[in-house]
Amino acid sequence: MRQDHGSKAEDKDDPIKEESSSLLETLIDKLNMVFVNAMFLILLQHVFLTSGLAVVVGHHHPPRHSLALDKDALLRFKSGITEDPFATLSNWNDSTHVCRFNGVRCDRHSHRVSQLILNESQLVGLLSPFLSNLTGLRVLWIVNSHLFGTIPHEFSSLRHLKSLRLDGNKLHGPIPNSLSHLPNLNTLLLLNNNFTGRLSPAFFSNCSSSLQILDVSGNSIFGDIPVEIGNCISLWSLNLYNNQFTGVLPHSLTNISSLLNLDVEYNHFSGELPTEIIGSLPSLIYLHLSFNKMKSHNGNTDLSPFFDAVRNCTGLEELEMAGMGFGGTLPASIGQLLGANLTVMLLQDNKIFGSIPPSISNFSKLRTLNLSSNLMTGTISDEMRVLPRLEQLFLSHNRFSGPIPEVLGKFPSLGLLDLSHNNFYGEIPKSLGNLTRLNYLFLNNNQLSGTIPSKLGRCTELHKIDLSYNRLTGKIPTDISGLSEIRIFINFSNNQLEGPLPDELSKLEDVQEMDFSSNKLNGSIFPLISSCIAVRLINFSNNSLEGKLPDSLGDLKNLEIFDVSQNKLSGMIPQSLNKSHVLTYLNLSFNNFEGMIPLGGVFSTLTNESFLRNPHLCGKIAGIRPCPREKHLLRWFIFSSTLISSKRQEVVRRKPRAPELIHNFPRITYRELLEATAGFDDRRLVGSGSYGRVYMGVLSDGTAVAVKVLHVQSGNSTKSFNRECQVLKRIRHRNLIRIITACSLPDFKALVLPYMANGSLDSCLYPHSGTSLGSGSSDLSLLQRVNICSDIAEGMAYLHHHSPVRVIHCDLKPSNVLLNDDMTALVSDFGIARLVMTAAGGNAAAIENLGNSTANMLAGSIGYIAPEYGFGLNTSTKGDVYSFGILVLEMVTRKRPTDDMFVGGLSLHKWVKSHYHGRVEKVVDSSLLRAAKDQSPEVKKMWEVATGELIELGLLCTQESPSTRPTMLDAADDLDRLKRYLFGDTTATFASSLGISSSTLGDD
């Protein structure tokens, strides 16, 4: 739970009220100035007279720091802004009075600019040091824009500044010590930037009487918290969450007795829970320690000392200590220790054991209680009925048992109830139907029995309901129509439900997923299923459904997955299914369908595995008997069908079995992958495509992994899985993704790979690509881009020249390059790679058919495919070189080869080449230009050399004729020289090392 408590009070229209004594202060200042000037003149006259010099003292006008100078400073700031999408600064010009500038306010007494507030303006540009000339400034807020650079040390001259907010920008570097020289600063919010380095002790040297709010969360600051933070005795909000802090919380925090908010979540703090510190902070309202590495007392077994210390925090409202791994039981007196003001308690993902103490009923204001993923046992106490404000109750993934108490139906405000993955038994309480505000109900993976209460239909605001993996019997109640607000999923699978699918399911117009698989349902599929217009997944498999599939299935425009396998369905497959543009998974196996399989649409990509054990089907899919009128044209398919049938003669209705694993790799089961990914939860989804989906998972030993689950019903995906296994088990290189293991079942295939926290190169290059191809900007520096290109070249050179079996990747592009924790690039996704043998002369181009051939698959992605492939030439290493060249040009220009601008014969290669001997800056990514703008001449020279060499390398690699392109060894050597040059090796040479000069870049 994330709340920026420190900024609640600052979001008012007038962030600083004029002090009641401002008029008196102004008068005193003027009198002081008169006195100082008079004394200066007397002293000056005395010096001249005693020197024998004559001086005429006239009327003196000291330099006045006026609004004119303030206006000049603001216009200079504006000149550094390169993008102003909302025209926020449109009236900042010479003809407008500075006090009427958008976002500017002036002080009526000092006649100076006192406030500059430009929130949510999306400005792009440098945080200019000229703002330091606004020496009368009290408030400086530029929030949620795209300012870059460091905080200028000149800001130390803003002596009157009280509130500085630069949160939500792209500022970098360390937080400067110069900010400690601002004597009146009480609010400093720098969250969600790119600040690095350590917090300097000097930063807290002068904060004793001023600083009240400090928020540097959402950065990459590391190291210990300086003990000098204890000097900030007026601090009442400290937000450090989501950084890289280490060590223990400093004991000096005990000096800050006024602290209301302490948030250090998502760091690497260690040691025992800070009992003494918390006990010395009686004013705490918000305490957030989650996702650190702290342990409980007495060898991580005793929570009593900590909760005894929290007793002193009588006003505590939020206690968040999730994902820390501490153990112990909740004290029986916890209700008295935490007080009556508690509204949020998050203790999930720990090792807490024992039962829920009945005294928890004292939390009369509690809204959220999360104890999921612990080791807790026992039952749910009836005392919990006196939690009238409870809105969310998470108890999943524990060892609770017994019946679900009726008392849970007496929580009038409950919106989420998650009791999944426990050992609850007995019937679902009818009282749950009284929860009229319930949005999410998860009772899955228990031992519940009996029927589904019809009263659940009263929960008219449900968005998700999951009752799967229980022992429920009876019919699906017709009152299900009351759940018409279900927007996400309804899952009753893996129970013992019987009877027909009720027609009332057609009223679930907004449901996205509908799973009733593995029950005993019979009857037909309701004809009005097409009314479920939002549905993406339908799984009715492993039941006893009969009759025909409704012809209206093709009207479900959002349907991606449709599984009715292992039923008793018959008749023709609806022709309308080929109209769906998003359907990628279709399983009709083990039924009694007949006639010809439709053509086109999804049917053009399916294999016979989507139609197993339907003996009366025919069609043009390998392994399926041809229809009679086509028999004379498809003899080869008859032979193929016979061959495949002989291999499958032992196939029966599918049951789970042990997975097939790559030899010598660790064994892993489907269940382990299910647990590692929280049931393949969409919240763990990190990528998807035509091949399937990739989930982030954590294995039982704590290893973070990426689980790539393929759509096995797609012929291409099955081949892709086999091919990727063939490649990954043969290659080993620091710049190539490695395989941990793989899991292969008849209807489930997955690769388990290391998890890359920095995602793909595509996501780093286009962090805002969800809005448009050219939106946003990239934080990748030029040096990072050179290093990444070099890493990719090294990995590809290994594949082409040093691998035990030569490999042609065939699909090199930014989305298939992953970045690990230190931004090292690893080439991934070998689903359509070719394993080759080196032919005479050293040209690796002869395809070796290992496993399922991919020889007929498209060799690459649009925009990255070598032009010779379009003329039918075989794949070769020079095709990978072309793809690499496009990637290099993309890294420099930040333009996809499929950008809308490339039409009418214009391509990325031609566009860059047209500017190569002219103004190359016109094609270079604007963020790289901005980064070089204010650098020294030496740095600019290096920048020009690096961009020029990358562009030349990209153009050389993307020449139309394969024979004129360099090898990946050449490219890797060239980039290695460029890296050495950027690190100071002035003897390094570049494109000449390829044996190809820039003069060869003639017209293609």
Which of 448, 491, 454, 457 is CA-nearest to residue 475? 454
- Cα-only R_g, the chain: 34
What CA–CA distance (Å, rounded) separates 207 from 110?
Answer: 26
Q: What are the residues whose beta carbons fall under 8 Å from the beta carbon of 204, sequence distance 6 or more? A: 180, 226, 228, 229, 231, 232
Interior angle at CA 989, CA 988 and CA 991, nearest 5: 150
What CA–CA distance (Å, rounded) separates 260 from 387?
Answer: 25
Length of the chain, please?
1004
What CA–CA distance (Å, rounded) separates 360 from 157?
Answer: 53
What CA–CA distance (Å, rounded) separates 352 from 354?
Answer: 7
Active site residue 466: no
Sign of CA dihedral 627, 628, 629, 632: positive
Which of 851, 682, 674, 822 is CA-nearest to residue 752? 674
Which of 555, 611, 619 is CA-nearest to residue 583? 555
**DSSP codes of every residue in 90-129:** TT-STTS-GGGSTTEEEETTTTEEEEEE-TT---EEE--G
In angstroms, how far is CA 278 from the centroid of its own chain? 33
What CA–CA distance (Å, rounded) separates 648 from 642?
Answer: 10
Strand locations in 513-606 (E): 513-515, 520-522, 537-539, 546-547, 561-563, 568-571, 585-587, 592-596
DSSP SS3 for 718: helix
With contact defined as beta carbons under 8 Å apart, do 861 and 869 qualify? Answer: no
Q: What are the residues whose beta carbons fall under 8 Å from the beta carbon of 11, sequence distance 6 or more? A: none
With contact defined as beta carbons under 8 Å apart, do 605 and 582 qualify? Answer: no
Interior angle at CA 763, CA 762 and CA 764, nearest 5: 90
Interior angle at CA 314, CA 311 and CA 317, nearest 5: 105
Question: Which of 167, 349, 515, 811 does the annotation list as catalytic?
Answer: 811
What CA–CA distance (Å, rounded) separates 579 from 582?
Answer: 9
Check whether 708 is labelled as a binding-site residue: yes
Q: Would you give the end-to-end CA distance of the chain in angstroms?
A: 57
Catalytic residue positions?
Answer: 811
| Residues in the annotated binding site for ATP | 708
Residue numbers belonging to the annotated binding site: 708
